[in-house]
Amino acid sequence: MAEPNTEQAPQAPQEPMPLKEAGRRLLSYLQPHWKYWAISFLFFTFGAAVEPIIPALFKKLIDSGFQEGLKYPIWIVPVVIIGLFLARGTLNFCGTYTMRYGVTAVVLDMRKDLMRALLRADARLFSQISPGIAVNKIINDPHNSVDVMGSTAISIVKDAMSLIALVGYLLYLNWQLTLISFVSMPLLAVTIKQVQKRLRMVGQAQYESQQRLVNTVDDNARAWRVVRTFDAAAFEQQRFDQEATQYRRWTLKQTTTSALITPMTQVVAAFGVSIIITLAILQASKGASTVGDFVSFVTALLMTISPMRHLTDVAQPIAGSLITARGAFELMDSPAEPDHGTKEMTTSRGELTFERAEVHYEGAPTPALQDFSLHIPAGQTVAFVGASGAGKSTVVSTLLRFAHLKGGRITLDGVDIEDLKLASLRRHFAVVSQDIVLFDGSVAQNVAYAHPSGIDRAKVEQCLRAANLWQHVSTMADGMDTGIGTNGSKLSGGQRQRLAIARALYRDAAVWIFDEATSALDSESEAVVQQSIENLRHSKTLILIAHRLSTIRNADVICVMAEGRIIEQGSHQSLIARNGTYANLVRIQSADGPGEQNPAAADTASSQPAEHPLKKYL
Ligand SMILES: Nc1ncnc2c1ncn2[C@@H]1O[C@H](COP(=O)(O)OP(=O)(O)OP(=O)(O)O)[C@@H](O)[C@H]1O
Ligand SMILES: [Mg+2]
């Protein structure tokens, strides 16, 4: 039975995923690569352990070198110093490399999962996000999010380790003084918390602004012809400038907020440091500590400033990273096409039955299909005609389960299509849809698209001949191996259509659907393609959709559609005899020859006295 499908459950104004949840999800991606994090953690720990050795050594060198006379060979000094920095550098390098190794692995995992989500997503997603946004979410978001998180994690590990080691050493040197330096900590925490809150808000606004900017660029890259034909470059430039300026504004706000953290923490930290240095000098002047003690303590103390500053700086990248990750996870969570069917169907005869099928698109005021019942026996040729928006393409989308049934059911060979696995259902259809979509590749790759057994060149040629495209392809530089550009941009409209027909012909399916497949063809090409389609008759179930009625005259059954219903059905002869809508359409089209190519003529003929509806705008 038809699922009460997701189409009816508008989920649009969803609560955004809490950042904590985004963090948890991100962690679940980091987890499988824990070995790299652990190893890099070790490297950084050792690297950090070297850190307090430096001031400790200074103390040793200064105390013994300056006060008690040299007790060691002088060459040890440079050797030890260089050695220590070399060790620290090597350890940090290895730590960074291992961490990056993990980061790139996580990015790869996320990208794969995002692509999987995109490939499975329900049709609704594609009316919500543009191709540019999809690209951005899959290519950039994982990198931006995990990379920043990785560098931040490196910084946290490195700096926290250094800080712990340094503070440990400070406590060992002079615990009273060190404890005093902690007094400014609570103040620091409150300051940072406030700034973080603002950072999250600004970060989200910045992310959304970036998406709008991507959309603008995406529009302009896709619709460049329209933009130029309408001489809209200035308009588009202005639209872009506005969005880009907005984005810059948010970026600056975000920078200002995060840049505030450092000076604020430094001023707060300065309180502590000033007290400590004063006290240390006092202690030293009373002879309570050696010059070495003092220098060492102050060196170690000053060395804590850098990691401390870095640690307070992590708020912004973490918030940014989580916001970006959330954007990616939202795509990952977009509902998949409902595929609850369990039945497999390896071969099909191509018998189709619609039983009171009803389709209602989300947000549409009226159903796109209603009370739609039709039986198509295997091997029959059925044509759908009717006004634009009557629901013809919706019949196709529903058959392929791109649009979901709200009521009724559809069967293929007697099996409810909802009970079939999606892949099992769709393999029985070869479709040339109204919007031709081609891939960036060669002619042959497009014809034998995604065929598991590779490209059968002889069959490709056959299909191209049947689609009346071979003549053109054989004159191309590399024949069928010539590239056709993005979405077939190097082909003419009619050639693109014929290539799509060849692609459908290559597929061995039981049901063939041609939705306005020959609308862009010249009469000669159309005749050839028509003949190829004619050759398929009776061996395949054929569904033809056309505005040009001459192309579907020979169909076994012609269904005239209006407002999602079949209002007339029968053969050409019987419909003409009936003298209803179809007969009227045929009359209009044949009245002035290719009437459908000049519908305005038909319109004016039927609405003689009325003035042009657009007159007041002209
Ligand atoms: N994805 C969608 N979301 C919302 N409404 C849609 C969607 N696709 C189609 N519609 C609406 O459903 C109705 C039927 O559309 P359909 O594409 O089936 O018309 P058609 O008969 O194929 O028209 P044409 O001859 O222009 O191709 C139209 O009113 C259209 O606006
Ligand atoms: Mg259509």
CATH (domain of 292): 1.20.1560.10
Rounded to an integer, the average pLDDT of 232-252 is 92
> Which residue, by CA, sits nearest to atom 28 of ligand 1?
389
- Asked if residue 319 belongs to a domain, the reply is yes
Structure confidence at residue 58 as a pLDDT band (50, 70, 90): confident
* pLDDT of amino acid 413: 94
- Centre of ligand 1 from the C-alpha of residue 204, in Å: 35
Rounded to an integer, the average pLDDT of 486-503 is 88
Strands 415-416, 405-412: pairing is antiparallel
- Centre of ligand 2 from the C-alpha of residue 46, in Å: 67
Lowest mean pLDDT among 155-159, 210-214, 228-232: 155-159
Distance CA 235, CA 222 (A): 16
613 pLDDT exceeds 70? Answer: no
Query: Alpha-carbon torsion 219, 223, 226, 231, what sign?
Result: positive
Rounded to an integer, the average pLDDT of 356-376 is 93
Q: Which ligand is nearest to the CA of 398?
A: 1
* pLDDT of amino acid 464: 93
* pLDDT of amino acid 65: 63
Structure confidence at residue 612 as a pLDDT band (50, 70, 90): low
157 or 38, higher pLDDT:
38
181 or 472, higher pLDDT:
472
- Asked if residue 481 belongs to a domain, the reply is no
- Centre of ligand 1 from the C-alpha of residue 368, in Å: 7
> Which residue, by CA, sits nearest to atom 1 of ligand 1?
361
> Which residue, by CA, sits nearest to atom 2 of ligand 1?
361
- Centre of ligand 2 from the C-alpha of residue 515, in Å: 7
List pLDDT tens digits, range 182-217. 776 677 777 777 787 888 889 899 999 999 999 899
> Which atom of ligand 1 is nearest the CA belonging to 434?
27
Lowest mean pLDDT among 157-166, 333-342, 594-603: 594-603
> Which atom of ligand 1 is nearest the CA belonging to 363?
4
598 or 325, higher pLDDT:
325
Strands of 318-432 (E only): list them.
352-359, 369-376, 381-386, 405-412, 415-416, 429-432
> Which residue, by CA, sits nearest to atom 3 of ligand 1?
361
Q: Which ligand is nearest to the CA of 384?
A: 1
* pLDDT of amino acid 116: 94
Structure confidence at residue 603 as a pLDDT band (50, 70, 90): very low
* pLDDT of amino acid 480: 93
* pLDDT of amino acid 291: 74
593 pLDDT exceeds 60? Answer: no
Rounded to an integer, the average pLDDT of 74-84 is 82
238-242, 524-528, 591-595: range with highest mean pLDDT = 238-242
Distance CA 519, CA 618 (A): 30
Q: Which ligand is nearest to the CA of 392?
A: 1
> Which residue, by CA, sits nearest to atom 30 of ligand 1?
389
Question: 569 φ, ψ to 5°?
Answer: -155, 150
Q: Based on the number of CB atoms within 10 Å of its own CB, is 487 exposed (0-12), middle (13-18) or buried (19 or more)?
A: middle
604 pLDDT exceeds 70? Answer: no
530 or 402, higher pLDDT:
402
46 pLDDT exceeds 90? Answer: no
4 pLDDT exceeds 50? Answer: no
> Which residue, by CA, sits nearest to atom 6 of ligand 1?
361
Lowest mean pLDDT among 25-34, 269-278, 494-503, 505-514: 269-278
List CB contacts of 464: < 8 A, sequence separation 6 or more.
Answer: 443, 447, 470, 473, 480, 502
- Asked if residue 105 belongs to a domain, the reply is yes
Distance CA 391, CA 397 (A): 10
Rounded to an integer, the average pLDDT of 265-289 is 76
Lowest mean pLDDT among 132-146, 504-518, 559-573, 587-601: 587-601
Q: Are 429 and 399 in contact (CB under 8 A)?
A: yes
> Which residue, by CA, sits nearest to atom 17 of ligand 1?
393
- Centre of ligand 2 from the C-alpha of residue 613, in Å: 25
Pocket test for ligand 1, best of 354, 361, 384 (most atoms within 8 A of CB): 361
- The reply to whether ligand 1 has any atom less than 6 angstroms from the CB of 392 is yes
For residue 383, what are the β-bridge partners?
544, 558
- The reply to whether ligand 1 has any atom less than 6 angstroms from the CB of 370 is no
- Centre of ligand 1 from the C-alpha of residue 393, in Å: 7
> Which residue, by CA, sits nearest to atom 18 of ligand 1?
391
- Centre of ligand 2 from the C-alpha of residue 338, in Å: 23
57 pLDDT exceeds 90? Answer: no
> Which atom of ligand 1 is nearest the CA belonging to 124?
1
Structure confidence at residue 68 as a pLDDT band (50, 70, 90): low
527 or 51, higher pLDDT:
527
* pLDDT of amino acid 315: 77
> Which residue, by CA, sits nearest to atom 29 of ligand 1?
389
Domain of 109? 19-332
* pLDDT of amino acid 557: 95
- Asked if residue 277 belongs to a domain, the reply is yes
Rounded to an integer, the average pLDDT of 397-414 is 93
* pLDDT of amino acid 411: 96
> Which atom of ligand 1 is nearest the CA belonging to 361?
4
Structure confidence at residue 157 as a pLDDT band (50, 70, 90): confident
- The reply to whether ligand 1 has any atom less than 6 angstroms from the CB of 401 is no
Pocket test for ligand 1, best of 358, 372, 392, 596 (most atoms within 8 A of CB): 392
- The reply to whether ligand 1 has any atom less than 6 angstroms from the CB of 404 is no
List pLDDT tens digits, range 428-471. 999 998 888 888 889 999 999 888 778 899 999 999 998 889 99
Domain count, the chain: 1
> Which atom of ligand 1 is nearest the CA belonging to 516?
27
- The reply to whether ligand 1 has any atom less than 6 angstroms from the CB of 364 is yes
Q: What percent of the chain has pLDDT over 70?
A: 91
Lowest mean pLDDT among 15-19, 403-407, 469-473, 556-560: 15-19
- Centre of ligand 2 from the C-alpha of residue 359, in Å: 15
272-286, 390-404, 444-458, 510-524: range with highest mean pLDDT = 390-404
- Centre of ligand 1 from the C-alpha of residue 394, in Å: 6
Lowest mean pLDDT among 146-155, 343-352, 575-584: 146-155
Pocket test for ligand 1, best of 366, 372, 393, 563 (most atoms within 8 A of CB): 393
For residues 182-213, b (16+ Cβ closer than 10 Å) or e, as one string?
Answer: eebeeebeebbeebbebbbebbbbbbebbbeb
Average pLDDT, the chain: 84
424 pLDDT exceeds 80? Answer: yes
- Centre of ligand 1 from the C-alpha of residue 390, in Å: 7
